[in-house]
Chains A and B, each alone.
Chain A
Amino acid sequence: MNLSRRQFLVLVPATAVAWQYVLAGTPRDAPNYQLADHWWGMLLDITKCIGCGNCVRACQAENDVPDGYFRTWVERYLRTDWNLTTPEVISPDGGKEGFPTAEEVKDGMYFFVPKMCNHCADSPCTQVCPVGATFITPDGVVLIDQTYCLGCAYCVQACPYGCRYIHPTRHVADKCTLCYHRITKGLTTACCENCPTGARQLVDLKNPNDPIHAFLKTHDVHVLKPEMATGAKAFYNGLDGSVR
């Protein structure tokens, strides 16, 4: 516990400059970040999620998400043996404060499903925006231009996953940005940073060394509602057929 040593380290010019660069700047000004070199997505591992709600709280802290609205949330499924397609689902306050204790059931199975914007490559929400206020960036992230959005909520209606909402005080559409302000500076998203079990992994499909490529070869990975043909890039490992 040597505070002066830490202070000294922070003041080492190289570290300080690097951190200043992390705190401010735009991707186009950053020499290291090229829009064309990335294609972002997210891997969500249902077999690892413990429903602690860390991701939901971290997202709220990082992105100033208003109470009662969610850029990410966690659902708890109970799929009984009697009906494999109609599960019982809860998500109290988006799972922000965790879940009530579940008792073992003989004829059913519990599991958690973290949800977020799927950053679809063929996104229905950007398709319907009348003015081009929501769009897919060249690096594959669906963003909202808060200074341009009319707040018509057409995109909210068009999203099959319920990921969008109208911000109660800004009156514009809002949703997950895949922590675009972080990933363009070499950091991971707030939810991935704070997931204690590694159930969420930021994925860059254009990076040949990204572990996702090996993971996809050996795991049973699906996207939500594939019949919607949205080109979803939230990849789920261990996704049960009852998840909607």
Chain B
Amino acid sequence: MTNIVSRITSPERRSFLVSTSAAAGGLALGMVLPFGNEAQAAERANYSSDTTLLGKTPGNEVTAWVFIKPDDTVVIRIARSEMGQGTMTGLAQLVAEELDCDWAKVTTEFPTPGQNLARNRPWKDFFTAGSRGIRASNEFVRQGGATARMMLVQAAAEKWKVPVAECSAASSVITHGPSGRKISYGKVAAAAAKIEPPKEVKLKDSKDWKIAGKPLKRLDTAPKTNGTLTYSIDVKLPGMLCAAIRDCPVFGGTVKSFDAAKAEKMRGVKKVVQVGKSAVAVVADHWWEAKVACDAVTIDWDLGPNANVSSASIAAILKEGLDASTNTYVGNENGDAKAAIAKGVKKVEAVYAFPYQHHATMEPMNATALWTADRCEVWTATQDGEVALAATSESSGHPLPKCDVHKLPLGGGFGRRTTHDFVIQAVGIAKQMPGVPVKLIWSREEDMTHGRYHPTTQCKMTGSFDENNNLTGLHMRISGQSIIAFVAPHNLVNGKDPFTFQGLNAAGAEGVFGYTVPNLLIDHAMRNPHIPPHFWRGVNNNQNSLYLESFMDELALSVNQDPLEFRRKLLKDHPKHLAVLNAVAERAGWGKPAPEGVFRGLSQHMGYGSYVAACAEVSVSKEGALKIHRIVAATDCGYAVNPAQIERQIAGSFAYGLSAMLFGECTVKDGAIEQKNFDTYRVMRINEMPKVEAIVMPSGGFWGGVGEPTIFVAAPAVLNAIAAATGKRIRQLPIKDQDLRKA
């Protein structure tokens, strides 16, 4: 418990609190410090941290979302982070759609979280996780575009002294119907910016979309092909130094003492500093020099209370939870599952396990910080600029209005960059080098051993049938780690982590359990090892879907029923779940012969507001070599803002989810993570990538996410296909060391 207490009191934990409140819809930042007063705003405006074009280039901000230059260039402000998922382009499409502007003249810029606070949060929250980028902000960004259009049209009408109703806008041009006069947005933007924004704004029906809903190309591709895009790791500031760091290999350990005598004399080294309680960093002219010297520092660690923890000891704790009655919480229940199972004519039981996994973003964690006696600025890749700002403020000792965070494009996020341990470290180093910008880069080894990991769980599934082979009861007992207990314990509900039950809920818009079972019990025995868990693309849906969808196949096969027909019967009350499943079954040719040696597997799940299903086709050689040939995947995300980018998210989700299924495992020895680089933490390469056929089938009426949902169904569909091919049921990830030869 002391370990948990020490985590709660760390600055990082406090920044988590802000993060989680933001995620829950009520932002805690406003309570931390006052902001938005005029003096502070004026001070901010004079400071170099303004990254928007406002005041720097001719043009006018019509609404917070829309800045228009005299040459008709439309600069759309994007609050959410761009980490490859295409949110930036999608959000720009939504604003541009309502603005009725010329898409060819659209560019984007990222306001800073400091600007957001100073202006009383016109861009609302910056949180970019949970597949929320578009679904959680579509309404107000569209309003930002529509409001600007109305103001521009009104400005033109006033200029021409004609009724607004006689004017219309299209492709950045306003036309006065009766006279045929035309004027472009750039020419009326200055006047429009002075108009009081309309109170009532009507948004378009999606069937009238011309820019949104179209498979447009991304806005940020060219600089990603010629080396000119500046990522966080590429930041260069005048006089900047670089830092490498070594944190205690065991989470919860600290630095007892260190000897830097050798390192301090090494080439390029400027300073060796302790960072917080648990790390030592070397600051040098170049990162390579810092890294070589950092390796040469002798550190005496106090490894703390977790130095004897191993994968085996963690697995034993989780195993105990499979049948335990203490520290357990019910997530979804109807009827009496235990009684039904006791009375069942046939009973099926299986135990599954899911390991720790690392995010392994291509760009290792890094941040550049500049600390002076009265300000602190950070340049970094973050999935939540405002939480990064809170972390900067806390660790710098300066109030929020004296800090800012410059958001750079992310070389991958996957949830890892919703927490800011690396920002806190960078500021901690910069604070010891006043006035000097310092860029901290984690080596890949540091990154992999100091991650925030996909939580580990085990699961006991038990099902029962009556004499007519009807499923009468289902008990799903999850045992293992709670993310919320670590990152935001105040969000536990009487000790329960509701987030554990992602995709297993009885109701709600996030993730509903699709099967109707007369007696159902889904519960969680919370068991929290010391390895820090975190949101990892797909999060708890990943294991929940794996356990459930694997077991649905086990149940079906136990009573000699077709897995598709078995699911169809149980999904009858959830037509949207059923629709995506039917779509993949039909496209894949379920029920029709597969190519020789090829076997199929199905899965479906709902999460982050979207319905997803997959059908995998695999073969397994006599020697046990697996080949994943083809995947058909369907997504119903309600509205599809950019179908081409959704297809890419679907395909990419298989690369990510199947990498985890095939290879993804972080093991623990002596309290530390053993895997240090891509040689021991393998991920999928192009030769292992199956052909993915995406079916984007938005049914309208709701907004679901697309960055994560497909991950849920990736592994179970393949595992079900492997079982069909071999008769072997894989119940533990990853499968890399398991014998797949025919049973």
Query: Are the chains A and B members of one assembly?
Result: no
Chain A interface (Cβ < 8 Å from any Cβ of B) = none
Chain B interface (Cβ < 8 Å from any Cβ of A) = none
